[in-house]
Each structure stands twice: as C-alpha cells, then as structure tokens.
Amino acid sequence: MSCPLNKLIRYLRLFSLPLSLLLLLLSPPVLAQPIQVVASMQPLALMLRSVAVEGVEVQVLLDAGQSPHDFNLKMSDRRKLAAADLVVWVGPEMEPYLAKLVTDGNALALESMQESVPQPTGHTAAHQHHDHGDDKHLWLDPRRGAAMLVALGDALAQLLPERAAELRIRAAATSQAVKALLERPPSGAATRRYAVAHDAYSQFVEAFGFPAPVVIADSPELAPGVRTLMQAGARLQPGDCLLVDLNHRRKWVQKFASDHQLELIEVDIMGVDQQVTNYVDLLSGLLTVFEHCR
C-alpha cells in the first residue's frame, strides 16, 4: 500500500518532466539574445565592427550612399532606436533629426569625444586646442575616432560584462592602429593643389598635416554659383585634383573638372565601398587619395 504522499510524488513526477521540457521550450533564450547596437551612419558602424564580438548586433540607420545632410527618419528607424541597447551617433550638430530620439543613458556621441591623441610631427603646440569651425564631419578626424573606439569598447563591455576584457583589448588595438596612421611621415612637399566638392575634410587635413583644399561647395548636392566656380577655378592649375564623394559625381562637378582639366577622384568618406570593412580602411583609403594628390 502506498501512502498518499508517495502517490502525490508519483503524480508530480508524471507531469514534472514534460512540464519542465515545455517551460524550457517556451521560455525566451534570455542569455543568447544579442546586444542591439544602432549606428547612425556607416563610418560609426565600421568603428563598432572593429570592436564588437559575437553577441553584439550592429545596425545602421543611414543607407549606403544616403547623405546625412538630408535624412528623414522612417518608422522602422524609430523602432530600431527604441529597441537599441546602445545608440552610436555623431551628435546633435550633425544629426539634429536624432537629437530628440537619443537619450544620454544609452547613447555615445562622437561629438563628445576629446582629441586625446598627440598631433602628428610638424604640428606646433599652438594647433592643439583651436576652433574647428563648423565642419561636423567628425568621423574623418582620426584623433576623435581613436578616442571613440576606446569609448565604444567601454560601453560594449558594460553591456556584455562576460566579454569585457576581449572587447577592451579589441578597442585598444584598433585605436592604436588609427594612431599609427597619424605617425606615417608625409611623402615630401606638395607639388599640386586640390579642390573639394564637399567641405568635409578640415579636421582630416589638419590631423594629417595636409594643405587646406580649395573648397568649391558645402556638399556636392548644392551646385555653387558662377562666381564661386570662377574664383575656385582661378586658384587651380590643369592637372590638380578635384575630390567628390563616391557616387555623388554631379553634372556640375564633372563640368568643372573638365573645364579646368582637373583629375576627378571619387572619395569614399562614408565607407560605402563593400571592400571597406573597418574604420582603419576608411581612413587609409582617404590617405591614399590625399597622398596621390600632393
């Protein structure tokens, strides 16, 4: 004869196995859920991908080739932002459309990074803390990029503590690779001038010690007036370079280049090219163009 307690135990055993299995199947895989990170644009996603490990999912708001200067958020973008564990953006100056949707608690802005990296050789100390004007293309500043990489490592380490050491090591290594680019000695004095169809390079040229460009337009989308074009043309020689954003070779750009016999070069400042897989590649690609146009 079995006592009532034994009956109860047997009864529970009958159900406990299927029940626990059922619970296992129904419960969400909490630990396997990847960390969701949203980058506002591809250059920041490139920084993230150099640091991120398995378990971190990186999404980009701005499609490849889209300009951050005339961007409208879609409903799906808002959903991505709302679901993100971390939002990585340039900041309110460059991306005012994100300012109201980003909260300080889970966001990291490139604008808030300090240029903690020493200036390249040949730069005077006086250059170190001066006003950059209103060029907000901060991802082209390797000094700020190097600081951002370290900050990204810290932010991801907080979200994924079990991989913290690895994340910080990856961040430090990439940051170091960016700083190493700054130590590349310039290859002799410039022999020609160059013009730009996008006023985006002021911090890049300052960081690497290149001469300032002849700026023709704020962005290739905005065709400058005849007077501006004439004045710029007068400062250039046949054989000089004209840099334009990759896939933004507008008609006026093409015409100006042929009128003045300039070498027209497309520059991938947004990391659109499939072959550019990390931030160091992005900067190296730009360096190659600038060295070529010296």
Residues at the site binding Zn ion, with contacts judged by CB under 5 A: 200, 219
**Would you tell me the crossing angle of helices 142-159 and 164-182 to the nearest 10 degrees?**
180
Choice between 70 and 183, CB closer to Zn ion? 70
Choice between 59 and 219, CB closer to Zn ion? 219
Bin 239: left if φ > 0, else alpha if -120 < ψ < 50, else beta. Answer: left
- Tell me the β-bridge partners of 274: none
81, 38 Cβ separation under 8 angstroms: yes
Q: Which of 268, 92, 284, 25 is nearest to 178 (CA)?
A: 284
Choice between 140 and 152, CB closer to Zn ion? 140
153, 51 Cβ separation under 8 angstroms: yes
Query: Alpha carbon of 16 to those of 23, 27, 45: distances in Å?
Result: 10, 16, 47
Choice between 138 and 236, CB closer to Zn ion? 138
- We find the least distance from the C-beta atom of residue 69 to Zn ion, in angstroms, to be 5
Choice between 106 and 219, CB closer to Zn ion? 219
Residue with nearest beta carbon to Zn ion: 200
The strands making up 263-267's β-sheet, listed across from edge to edge, are: 214-215, 194-196, 241-245, 263-267
- We find the least distance from the C-beta atom of residue 247 to Zn ion, in angstroms, to be 14
Query: Alpha carbon of 232 to those of 133, 213, 217, 260: distances in Å?
Result: 20, 10, 10, 10
- We find the least distance from the C-beta atom of residue 67 to Zn ion, in angstroms, to be 7
CA 229, 230, 231, 232 torsion-angle sign: positive
- We find the least distance from the C-beta atom of residue 163 to Zn ion, in angstroms, to be 35
- We find the least distance from the C-beta atom of residue 102 to Zn ion, in angstroms, to be 20
271, 282 Cβ separation under 8 angstroms: yes
Choice between 93 and 259, CB closer to Zn ion? 93
